[in-house]
Amino acid sequence: MRIKQYMDSELFIITTLDSLSSQKGKSYFDLWLKWEDLFSQIHVPIYIFTLKSENNKYIPSSKHIQVRLCSRKVFESLGVYRTKTVFTKIYEIMDPAIFLYEGKQLIQKEFRSNDHTIGEVYLKALDARYKKYVDNFRKKLTDKKEFASIKRR
pLDDT of residue 149: 56
- Residue 151: the pLDDT is 56
Alpha-carbon span 19 to 47, nearest angstrom: 14
Running DSSP on this structure, what letter comes out for residue 135? H
**What H or E segment, with its residue span, contains residue 17?**
strand 11-17
Residue extents of the structural domains in the chain: 8-147
For every residue of 31-77, DSSP letters joined together read: HHHHHHHHHHHTT--EEEEEE-STT-------SSEEEEEE-HHHHHH
> What pLDDT sits at residue 85?
87
Confidence at residue 100, expressed as pLDDT on a 0 to 100 scale: 92
Return the pLDDT at 116. Answer: 92
- 77 Cβ neighbours under 8 A, 6+ residues apart: 3
Q: Tell me phi and psi for residue 8, to 5 degrees.
A: -75, -30
Q: Which CATH class is domain 8-147?
A: alpha beta
pLDDT mean by block of 10 residues, the chain; 153 residues: 56 86 83 89 88 62 79 83 85 86 87 90 89 77 59 52
